[in-house]
Each structure stands twice: as C-alpha cells, then as structure tokens.
A = this chain, B = another copy of it.
Amino acid sequence: MIVVMKSGAKKSEIQSVLKKIKEIGLKPHVSAGIERTIIGIIGDERLFKKEQFSMLSGVENVIPVLKPYKLASRDFKKTTTVVNVNGVNIGGNNLVTIAGPCSVETKEQLLKTAHIVKKAGAQLLRGGAYKPRTSPYAFQGLGKDGLKILAAARKETGLGIVTEVMESQDAELVAEYADMIQVGARNMQNTKLLRTLGKIKKPILLKRNFSATLNEFLMSAEYLLSGGNENVVLCERGIRTFVEYTRNTFDLNVIPVVKQLSHLPIIADPSHATGRQDIVIPMSRAAIAAGADGLIIEVHTNPAEAFSDGDQSITPSMLEQLMSEVQAVAHAVGREM
C-alpha cells in the first residue's frame, strides 16, 4: 500500500501516518519528493483497511499495490488448472463445448436437444431448471422436475450436465443432479451461495456479472477457492455498456488478461453476451481465437417458440456449422476440439 500525502502536508501529518503504520505492526518507507511525500507500507495489505490511512489528515490518496485475490492468482499457482467435468477436461489443450437450451421445457424437448448436441460434437449439456427472469410473469423454470429431466438426458446420452443454482438452500439438491453447477451472472456476488458452493466438491461454472470488474470477478472465484472448492471455471458473458446492437458487450479482451493473472480456465458465452442468434457463430470463432478454453452455447429446436431467450438460441443446423467453423479456428490457434 502506498500513502500519497497532499502537496504541502505538514510534518505532524506525516508523523501521524508513520505512527499509525507502526501501531499496526508494519514498516513505513518514506520518500520525500519535490511536490509530495509518499510513504510505502511494507507488509500484508490484506490485513488492514485503506480507510485507516485515507481518512487521516494530510493524506491525498492511498494506492493498493497487491491484488486483492490470492488463491485465484497465477502468482499463487503457476500451472493452469484443469477441471474435470464428467470425464471432460476444461482448461487443457482440448476445448470444451457446452450446449443446450436456455430452459428445460419438457422431457421430450430436452432429450431431442441432447441428442442433437451430442451428434454435433459438444461434450456437455446445458439447461436451466431454475431461471432468474426479469419479469415475474415469465416462465421461471421447472425446478426439481427440470433436474430430473436433465438426469434422464445424461442417462440416455452420457453427456455431463451443467445447470444453474440460484440459492444456497438449493445447492445440495442441484449438486445431486448436476455434473457442473452454474453460478449465474446475477448471482456472481451472492456471497452466501458462493460460500455454500465452496464446500461442495462439484465443479463450478462462475459467470461474470454484467458490471463486474476483473477484481470483483476473481474475488468471487476466491470465495469458492478459499472455501475449499478448486474446480472453478470462469465464464465471460458480456458486460453492460452504452452499446445498443447487442444485449451486452461481449468482452473478449478479458480472456487473455485472465490467462495472465489467474490459473483458472475461462470459457465464453456468446449467446447471452450478444443476445443475437445471427452473430453467435462469428463471435464463437472470435472467442476461441482470443484464447478461450471453450464455449457455452444456447441451442433450441425451434427458437421462436423457446420458453426463454429464443432471440439468442441457434438452431441445430447452426450448431453443426458453429462446431465446424470453430474447430477450424481451434486448430489454427493450436488447440484440439
């Protein structure tokens, strides 16, 4: 942590800062510049609060030097984490594709889609049983019945199941059925849910909130990791910006940056990020080219009649085209698929 004193700070004000640093048991390091004095605080800056200094008289600014996350950082663990989901590795040289409908609607629909997903070459099946919807009047998911349908689809196709949990009290139930538990964007900072999932030994797909900074995103991963669950896969799914032609702005830049800062795998969700069926394929190619470890894609046998998110769901034939186009890009960047 670096304390920047105001230009013209009094000697006594500098003394107060030094006294405070020593009180906490840390070591100050004073640099008296021409315009300002700056004071480095040596020691673990996670153990005290910025405000203990920022509010002292004569202090202009307090600048953190360390990253707030530790277990999620590549400094802590140099090798990339590989997460095994029902026999499918995420984070290694092979790319993963997770596909399926936004919501589990009926058993028939899901089984049909599961076969399509499998045939297209995707390795995991997605489908929501609990749905966070903007409108109280919209379809809210089938709940436990949906989980059972997902399990039936796994039985029939062998595809591992990825599904969302929305509250800590449902975590155990969802964990019984799912191979990978999704934390949705709206729940990225639901700390109680994160704590609960930290204690469950199922892989977690942690989606970035629309307005999450990178520190916030990785701190949510830190909740899971510090709780004891190391099987965390990150997912970029769009940020909220002024842009009007996509539902959110798919921020592919985060992918190479996360690769530098963290050892966790990261996949991309072009369906939710763009909200547009018609650009899901090019943006899937772009995500892989940027270095993503895989994709999660919404597919529906009849998007116009989907219970939710029809606008962004691709058709089965588009999924086949997507798989083939993405595979070409994967090979171009030295990945298998």
Which B residues touch A35, using CB under 8 A?
A: 44, 66
Query: A293 at the A/B interface (Cβ < 8 Å)?
Result: no
Q: Which residue of B lies closest to A277 (CB)?
A: B55
Query: A173 at the A/B interface (Cβ < 8 Å)?
Result: no
Q: How many residues of A are in contact with the other chain, CB < 8 A?
A: 108
Alpha-carbon distance between A63 and B29 when the two chains are bound, in angstroms: 17
Which B residues touch A210, using CB under 8 A?
A: 211
| A173 to B: closest C-beta gap in Å | 13
Alpha-carbon distance between A82 and B305 when the two chains are bound, in angstroms: 40
Q: Which residue of B lies closest to A196 (CB)?
A: B167
Given contacts A136-B222, A226-B136, A329-B289, contact A214 B244 (CB under 8 A): yes
Q: Which residue of B lies closest to A8 (CB)?
A: B75
- Copies of this chain present in the complex amount to 4
Q: Which residue of B lies closest to A261 (CB)?
A: B245
Which B residues touch A255, using CB under 8 A?
A: 282
Query: A106 at the A/B interface (Cβ < 8 Å)?
Result: no
Query: A325 at the A/B interface (Cβ < 8 Å)?
Result: yes
Given contacts A257-B279, A286-B290, contact A249 B251 (CB under 8 A): yes
CB-CB contacts of A140-157 with B at 8 A, as 1s and 0s? 100000000000000000
The interface centre, meaning the residue of A44, A133, A243, A328 with most chain B CB atoms within 10 A of its CB, is: A243
Query: A191 at the A/B interface (Cβ < 8 Å)?
Result: yes
Which B residues touch A68, using CB under 8 A?
A: 134-135
